Amino acid sequence: MNSNINTSILNIFTVLLFINIAAKAQVISSTIQDYSVLDSAEMEVIYYVETMNDSLKPNKKTSDIQRLLIGNKISKIYSCTLFYYDSLATELISKGAQNYPICQKPVLPVEVIKDHSKKTLSVIYRTLTEDLFQYEEQFPVFNWVIQPEKKTILTHSCQKAQTRFRG
């Protein structure tokens, strides 16, 4: 009997938790009008990215399309999938919608912005509740070691270089 009560309490708690998360996920704290243009992209590079989330399951990977925008002062990389859903939500909210579809695909909710004039990286991590974790740091220093191996890739002569980055 006591076990059934504990299970019922746990189920109620779980439902309330997800209702709370869903309610918070509908809150938009800012609009596109709150932002200003920092730079214009001179180049756009599109990447197909696969990530392995669990080293014990190396065959289970998630994929996404990432867009890198390179300007004279600023460069930025972000998920095209999240950008699509953000744009859709912005449009629907501007028309008075209270609810909008959210991304169901597991993608890395991170934007990285490089400010070349200040030599800083800004990393913005989004959570399910639209909270942002953001930090800024100086550009990391890379100590590249040129290796003897050479290879031709799509008619370009390339030479291997190695470095260590954060372990």
Expressed in angstroms, the distance from the first to the final Cα of the chain is: 52
Q: Torsions phi, psi of 27, nearest 5? A: -85, 130
For the stretch 42-83, pLDDT in tens is 899 998 888 877 889 888 888 888 899 999 999 998 888 887
For the stretch 93-141, pLDDT in tens is 788 877 776 767 777 788 889 999 999 999 988 766 666 788 899 988 8
